[in-house]
Chain A
Amino acid sequence: MATLKINGERVDVDVDASTPLLWVVREQLGLTGTKYSCGIGICGSCTVHVDGAAVRSCTLPVSELAEGQEILTIEGLSANNDHPVQQAWAELDVPQCGYCQPGMIMAAAALLTENAEPADTDIDAAVTNICRCGTFNRVRRGIHLAAEIKKNGGAS
């Protein structure tokens, strides 16, 4: 049994302590926006925020989370699909198949929290997610556009 705070709500989950956070959010809480792809911490499809930082949830056992830690999944990023990153992504039609995109968006959102105007090299270092469809150029433009949207107070 673990008590977690996910998307602002406290939830009790009855799982083996070694279960990765990814499978807790997907299978116990039904939040399937966070994706499985590699399960070994490389691809970033499972990216969520823990206390604001981008974390690969497939290699994070729930036992390593403290009770007060704030976990944010793609479903909790915004109420109306209007986080600056989501706005920018919609404007540029970033997703192709879309499978990697929740992880990509969470990585981008965490980067912008930390660095309001990331340079290309900052993006290269922070966004290490794999996208087999190849959306990288639009992801990069999307992050710059989201930074602008954020600077202008969130509206596009």
Chain B
Amino acid sequence: MSKARIAVSRREFIIRSTTAGAGFALGLTLPGLPRTALTAEGTGGTDWAADPEGPEINAWVVIQPDDTVVIRIARSEMGQGTLTGLAQLVAEELECDWSKVTTEYPTPGENLRRDRVWGSFSTGGSRGIRDSHAYVRKGGAVAREMLIQAAAEAWDVPKAECSAEASVVTHGPSGRTTTYGQVAKAAAKLWPPEHVELKDPEDWELIGKPVKRLDTLDKLNGKQIFGADLTLPGMLNAAVKACPVFTGKLDSFDDSKVRDKPGVRAVLAVGDNAVAVVADTWWQAKTALDALPVTWNKGPHADLSSAAIDEMLDEGLTSGEQVFVGNASGDAEQGLAGAAKTIEAVYAYPYQNHATMETMNATAVWTPERCEVWCPTQDGMAALEAAAEAAGLPIEQCDVHKIHLGGGFGRRGAFHDFVTQAVLIAKQLPDTPVKLLWTREEDMAHGHYHPITKCKLVGGLDESGDLTALKVRISGQSILASVRPEWMAEDGSDPVTFQGFHADGDHAISYGVANLLVEHAMRNPPVPPGFWRGVNINQNAIYLECFIDELAHAAGKDPLAFRRKLMAEHPKSLAVLETVAEKAGWGKPAANGAHRGLAVVKTFGSYVAACAEVSVSDGKVKVQRIVAATDPGYAVNPQQIEAQVEGSFVYGLSALFQGECTIENGAVVQSNFHDYPSMQIADMPDVEVIVMPSGGFWGGIGEPTIAVAAPAVLNAVFAATGQRLRRVPLKSVEL
């Protein structure tokens, strides 16, 4: 890729609002919120373009007189570093002084008023950077051109004689200089240029640099305000309990038992399935709710159990009903029939909760004219839609103020049940801000769970031990069927179920198999599924990568050599695999008698591989070390990639060893971290991260490597013990 000449449409840079941030007279400046968010009374507002603190050059860039650069970020920061990465992309083209950069979130309401100038707010699918890099870089480039032009006009010299670097504009011939802060006001009045040129990646200075995160310091001293921490004047606090049985309803509650408890202000039905106590403090609300007698109408699923779901999935492993094909080539049946040797195995993956450290929460204030919400969300626009619907108000009369998330992992993107509840409560207490905070128990009981599936794989080897046929039958839950039916394929199939098995694209299979059939028997138990960091690649990578290992051993071949032979058409996948094998010392004995396992996938547009080293003693598995390689095409911030890869292993290994939600009597059994444990530092392996961007494409970072942790470890466990563990999690397994 070289320099790109990009047309600039006038529309996207000139729609300026005069009613931004219309809100309540709360007189607050809150961290993580736009400076203008909370100023005017009732319906009034502030003009962002006329912001006294500095003019807006365009939607992405505000320059203050002291040269502070405010970069607007539409996506959400939940730990993955997207705030810093997106700011790097804008700043690269803006040619500003990085040390002067700060960020702010525009509100979704402002986005609507400005004809969606900031594009998507959705932060999931590892898409924060790869979907928006082009237009945010363009935003920076356009602002730069306008700032240079303003300087040229002030000096009355040709713009072509001027250039910008580190927030300073220089007139070449005369050597005169000025700063962005000094020309910003004039620049804001200019028309944007008709075209801008984006830099050749070769010339990037800030993109690709391991700069520090912009959000670290406030996270060290308690200053960072999360949604759970928000305090508004006159605010009340709510605790909520919804019917623990899926799809069950609220029948009745006896508030006489708690009405007189200290601090209690109201006991309210929330929608048709929940009850809330509102009190002066949350602790008062929570303890009163614990004491509140509630009866539920449990509905049709009161008997649902994990055993019944298990049977449903087992049936799907062989059934001909509701079966969809995700990938096929050659003739798998015939290939298997003609194989010299066939191998078969069944794997299983459970329901899992996202378990973000910050439980679900939202703060809402409702009047008959207006509704405002403050919440951690991975998708501000979706949060706004949920708020407007619950408020019963036109969307123009509502807004959402985003706050950094205490973890997202997919829980706070497609689902805003917590926003709906907060607004439904606030609506019953007009003019009063109410903060709703879920208990961990509520969070465990009302997740949108990693879907449950099983998988039966049959592979055929020829005389020389090469794979000639592979049949994969997945049985289990579709996320899209319940969450995004509009994304389903025309034949009723869920393409996301086949992540990692696709013939091509962002989640393509890494192997060429002459006779291949991948099917999904859709079985949807009434447990709400959701996108969970990595989504379906988590289990699909276990299924395929462990089974490939089984086939290699059945063929009497080295798992690396066996894979290599199938990867002739997948050089980028092979490159990451070879890299981890070499770096880990594949083929040579590991330290401390450890054993090794490999895994490789392409997912979210990136190529990733891992080599895990595992030792087993006293029946316990200890993961000693993981070497991981990622080829994301372009690497915006290598040190953040390293942090994401390390973190993805914590999420992936917690899931492998410990994560399981089971169902009894229609409800989730696990209720907190004592029965839904998560990894601690003592369990953490050494992680060596290799970032090997090959250029020319934009792959995701937050999710891909999570998928290789579990299969690499499972394959290493086999190498260590000769045991194939095919059921996640391992916690109940005896070795």
Residues of A within 8 A of B404 (CB): 97-98
> B283 contacts A81, CB within 8 Å?
no
Given contacts A33-B222, A81-B217, contact A97 B651 (CB under 8 A): no
Interface residues of B in 186-216 (CB under 8 A from A): 212-213, 215-216
Q: B11 on the interface (CB 8 Å rule)?
A: no
**Chain B residues positioned under 8 Å from A23 (CB to CB):** 281-283
Tell whether B646 is near chain A: CB-to-CB under 8 Å: yes
Most buried by A among B77, B672, B687: B672
Chain A neighbourhood of B643, CB < 8 A = 93, 96, 135, 138
Shortest C-beta distance, B556 to chain A (Å), equals 37
Check B220 against A90 for contact (C-beta < 8 Å): yes
Min CB distance B47 to A, Å, is 32
Q: Mark A81-108, 1 if CB is under 8 A from B, else 0.
A: 1000010011001111111111001000
> Is B687 a contact partner of A137 (Cβ separation < 8 A)?
yes
Q: Mark A70-85, 1 if CB is under 8 A from B, else 0.
A: 0001110110010000
B648 at the interface (CB under 8 A from A): yes
- One digit per residue, 1 when the CB lies within 8 angstroms of any chain A CB and 0 when it does not, for chain B 594-623 equals 000000000000000000000000000000
The range of chain A's interface size is 35 or more
Find chain B residues with CB under 8 A from A154 CB.
none
Contact A132 B407 (CB under 8 A): yes
Q: A101, B678: Cβ atoms under 8 Å? A: no
Q: Using an 8 Å CB-CB cutoff, how does the interface string of A19-62 with B read, 1 for contact, 0 for none?
A: 11001001110111111111110110100000000000000000
Q: Please tell me if the beta carbons of A99 and B684 are within 8 angstroms of each other in the complex.
A: no
Bound Cα distance from A147 to B224, whole angstroms: 25
Shortest Cβ gap from A112 to chain B (Å): 15
> Which of B225-233, B325-333, B513-521 is the contact stretch?
B225-233
CA distance A92 to B65 in the complex (A): 32
CA distance in complex: A90, B735 (Å): 41
Q: Which residues of chain A (122-155) have a CB below 8 Å from chain B?
A: 123-125, 127-140
Residue of A nearest to B408 (CB): A97
Asked if A37 contacts B358 (CB within 8 A), the reply is yes
CA distance A28 to B263 in the complex (A): 13
Contact across chains for A99 and B407 when beta carbons are under 8 A apart: yes
Q: In this assembly, does A67 line the interface, its C-beta being within 8 Å of a C-beta of chain B? A: no
A12 at the interface (CB under 8 A from B): no
Q: Which residue of A lies closest to B78 (CB)?
A: A97
Bound complex: CA A81 to CA B219 (Å): 10
Cβ contact within 8 Å between B221 and A33: yes
B222 pairs with A102, CB closer than 8 A: yes
Within the assembled complex, what's the spacing in Å between the Cα atoms of A133 and B217? 17
Residue of A nearest to B533 (CB): A132
CB-defined contacts of A77 to chain B, threshold 8 Å: 221
A39 to chain B minimum Cβ distance, whole angstroms, is 6
Contacts of A37 in B (CB 8 A): 357-359, 440
Cα(A89)–Cα(B687), bound, Å: 19
Nearest residue (CB) in B for A98 is B219
* Separation of A45 and B686 alpha carbons in the complex (Å): 24
- In the complex, whether B356 has a CB less than 8 A from a CB of chain A is yes
Say whether, besides A98-B215, A105-B220, A43 and B646 are in contact (CB < 8 Å): no
Our pick among A19, A34, A36, A136 for the contact of B684 (Cβ within 8 Å) is A136
Instruction: Assess the B674–A130 pair: CB atoms within 8 A.
Output: no
* CB 8 Å contact bits of B574-600 with A (1 = contact, 0 = none): 000000000000000000000000000
Q: CA A98 – CA B218 in complex, angstroms?
A: 9
Which chain B residue has the least Cβ–Cβ distance from A94? B216
* Complex contact A35–B682 (CB within 8 A): no
**Residue B262 is within 8 A (CB to CB) of chain A in the complex:** yes
Q: Answer yes or no: B387 CB below 8 A from chain A CBs.
A: no
Cβ–Cβ contact B406 & A98, under 8 A: yes
Cα(A40)–Cα(B677), bound, Å:
13
Asked, given contacts A93-B212, A93-B643, whether A39 binds B651 with beta carbons under 8 Å apart, the answer is no
Query: Which of B225, B406, B673 is within 8 Å of A97, CB to CB?
Result: B406
* In the bound complex, CA of A74 to CA of B222 (Å): 6
Per DSSP, chain B at the interface is loop
Instruction: List residues of chain A with CB within 8 A of the CB of B356.
Output: 97, 99, 132
Inter-subunit contact A35/B228 (CB<8 Å): yes
Q: Tell me whether B732 is interfacial, beta carbon within 8 Å.
A: no
Residue of A nearest to B284 (CB): A16
Query: Are B281 and A96 closer than 8 Å at their CB atoms?
Result: no
* B561 in the interface (beta carbon within 8 A): no
Q: How near does chain A come to B410, taking the closest CB pair, in angstroms?
A: 12
Find out whether the CB atom of A137 lies under 8 angstroms from the CB atom of B231.
Answer: no
Residue of B nearest to A97 (CB): B79
In the complex, the answer to whether B283 meets A127 with C-beta atoms within 8 Å is no
- Given the interface pairs A81-B217, A98-B404, the reply to whether A132 lies near B682 with Cβ below 8 Å is no
- The answer, among B282, B409, B681, for a CB contact under 8 Å with A136, is B681
Residue B176 at the A interface, CB < 8 A? no
Contacts A81-B220, A124-B682; is A97 near B672 (CB within 8 Å)? no
A40 with B650: CB separation less than 8 A: no
Which residues of B662-685 are within 8 A (CB) of A?
672-674, 678-682, 684
Q: A30-B231, A99-B357 are in contact. Are A39 and B439 (CB under 8 A)?
A: yes
CB distance from A92 to the nearest CB of B (A): 9
- What A residues does B282 contact at CB under 8 A? 23, 27
Contact of B425 with A by CB under 8 A: no
Of B409, B654, B672, B680, the contact of A38 (CB 8 Å cutoff): B672
How many angstroms between the C-alpha atoms of A73 and B228 in the bound complex?
Answer: 17
Determine if A42 and B672 form an interchain contact, defined as CB atoms under 8 angstroms apart.
yes
Question: Chain B, 493-536, contact with A by CB distance < 8 Å: what is the 0/1 string?
Answer: 00000000000000000000000000000000000000000000
User: Separation in Å of the B284 CB from the closest CB of chain A?
Assistant: 8
User: How far is B79's CA from A136's CA once the two chains are assembled, in angstroms?
Assistant: 14
Residue numbers in A under 8 Å from B219 (CB-CB):
95, 98, 101
**Taking CB as reference atom, which chain A residue is nearest B646?**
A137
Per-residue A-contact encoding for B273-306, CB less than 8 Å = 1, 0 else: 0000000011100000000000000000000000
Which chain A residue has the least Cβ–Cβ distance from B263? A16
Q: Give 1 or 0 for each of B431-462: 1 = CB within 8 Å of chain A CB.
A: 00000010110000000000000000000000
**CB atoms of A129 and B221 under 8 A apart:** no
How many whole Å from A103's CB to the nearest CB in chain B?
9
Residues of chain B within 8 A (CB-CB) of A35 are 226, 228-229, 357-358, 406
Chain A nearest Cβ from B646, distance in angstroms: 5
Kindly list chain B residues whose C-beta atoms are within 8 Å of the C-beta of A128: 680-682
Q: Which of B218, B650, B680, B686 contacts A129 (CB 8 A)?
A: B680
On whether the beta carbons of B357 and A43 are closer than 8 Å, the reply is yes
- For the complex, what is the distance from the CA of A86 to the CA of B654, rounded to whole Å? 27
- Given the contacts A93-B213, A97-B404, A33 and B223 also touching, CB distance less than 8 Å: yes
What residues of A have a CB within 8 angstroms of the CB of B407 in the complex?
97, 99, 132-133
Contact B283 A139 (CB under 8 A): no
Residues in chain B near residue A38, CB distance under 8 A: 440, 672-673
Instruction: Check B687–A132 contact: CB distance below 8 A.
Output: no
Which residue of A has the minimal Cβ distance to B706?
A134
What separation, in Å, do the CA atoms of A105 and B218 have in the docked complex? 13
Instruction: Using A93-B643, A134-B649, A140-B681 as known contacts, say yes or no to A36 and B224 having CB atoms under 8 A apart.
Output: no
Q: Is B164 an interface residue (CB 8 A)?
A: no
| Residue B46 at the chain A interface, CB threshold 8 Å | no
The residue of chain B having its C-beta at the shortest distance from the C-beta of A99 within the complex is B406
8 A-B residue pairs with CB within 8 Å? A23-B283, A32-B222, A40-B440, A81-B217, A86-B221, A93-B212, A93-B643, A101-B220
Q: In the complex, given contacts A23-B282, A26-B229, A37-B440, what are 15 additional A-B residue pairs having Cβ atoms less than 8 angstroms apart? A: A32-B222, A40-B673, A45-B357, A93-B639, A94-B216, A97-B78, A97-B358, A97-B405, A98-B79, A100-B357, A101-B219, A127-B680, A135-B647, A136-B684, A137-B646
For the complex of A and B, 3 pairs with smallest distance between CB atoms:
A33-B222, A134-B650, A99-B406
Residues of A within 8 A of B (CB): 16, 19-20, 23, 26-28, 30-40, 42-43, 45, 73-75, 77-78, 81, 86, 89-90, 93-102, 105, 123-125, 127-140
